[in-house]
Amino acid sequence: MINMKGIMNVAPPKPERCISTTDELIQFSHDQVPIGTSAYRALLFLLICVQLRLSVVKPFFNCRVPAASVPHGVTVPTLLFCFALLLPMRTLAQSVVPPAAADWGKSVQGVQLSITLATNVFQLGSSATVESLTRNTSTNDVVVDIFAPTAVFDVLLTNRTGKSYHITTPTAIRGPRQFVALKPGDKSAEAIPVTFGKTRFGDTVEPGDYTLLATRHFSAATEDYVHEGEGAFKLESNSLKVEVK
């Protein structure tokens, strides 16, 4: 004899949730994918594609697909498409390299000099700009001269044999010097013009591989002069590898 009471107590199976419209897909994505995740961003892009009815996306959503066909209610087409979208996103994220921290020269009395170049390959006779940054990490004020970078800085190219070229671009200098006090934690940024050709001493840079570095001077805040031999300290920057061809 069939127990009708037992049959009556069996809960009917839940109908499979189907996704057939853009609105349902939006609601489904909000329910299943945490906001702010890469998958969520991929779904947002996917929804835009669906709304525009792109031919690449449309075949995935013209049919009704049960949401329970894969774990956690994510449909197979959605999962596959999101995975395809996340791959280039991952590759892009890996290709974006954060800028490297500045390299610094040796600390002298708590003061350091750093230089950078936009490139490390230069044509013979070309000009460029060396970006410099002087920082005071000491507990005392120091003084630097910022009047004319071509006079304040010396930029040297040195090859493997030890031959050096002074490549700061020769310029006419007029006017009084400008001394600036750098308090503890302060920095001074200056652009130094250089030329990979005839130097101010009359010699000419030859093609080859070089090490480039810059030097400058500073003094204590109580000193009026910031040049070698006048109670000043000499700073040497980090070195850069360059090629002249």
pLDDT digit string, tens, across residues 56-115:
444 544 444 444 444 444 454 554 555 445 544 444 444 444 445 569 999 999 999 999
Percent of the chain beyond pLDDT 70?
Answer: 53
Mean of pLDDT over the chain: 74
Average pLDDT over residues 234-245: 96
Angle at alpha carbon of residue 49, lines to 56 and 91, rounded to 5°: 80
pLDDT of residue 204: 95
Q: What are phi and psi of 27, to 5 degrees?
A: -65, -40
Q: Is the pLDDT of residue 13 over 70?
A: no
Q: Is the pLDDT of residue 237 over 90?
A: yes
Give 29's DSSP letter. Answer: H
CB atoms inside a 10 Å sphere around CB 121: 10
Confidence of residue 10 (pLDDT cuts 50, 70, 90): low
Confidence of residue 172 (pLDDT cuts 50, 70, 90): confident
Percent of the chain beyond pLDDT 90?
Answer: 45
Q: Is the pLDDT of residue 215 over 70?
A: yes
pLDDT of residue 222: 63
Q: Is the pLDDT of residue 7 over 50?
A: no
pLDDT of residue 238: 97
Confidence of residue 220 (pLDDT cuts 50, 70, 90): confident
pLDDT of residue 160: 95
pLDDT digit string, tens, across residues 114-155:
999 999 999 999 999 999 999 999 999 999 989 889 889 999
Lowest mean pLDDT segment, chosen from 129-133, 167-171, 221-225: 221-225
pLDDT of residue 128: 97
Which domains does the chain carry?
16-95 (no CATH), 111-244 (2.60.40.10)
CA distance 32 to 73: 7
Strand-pair category, 154-158 with 208-220 = antiparallel
CA torsion through residues 42, 44, 50, 52, sign: negative
pLDDT of residue 232: 85
Dihedral angle at the C-alpha atoms of 144, 146, 150, 152, nearest 10 degrees?
-20
Between 30 and 212, the higher pLDDT residue: 212
Instruction: Answer for the pair 218, 134: CB distance below 8 angstroms, yes or no.
Output: yes
Average pLDDT over residues 10-14: 54
Average pLDDT over residues 17-32: 53
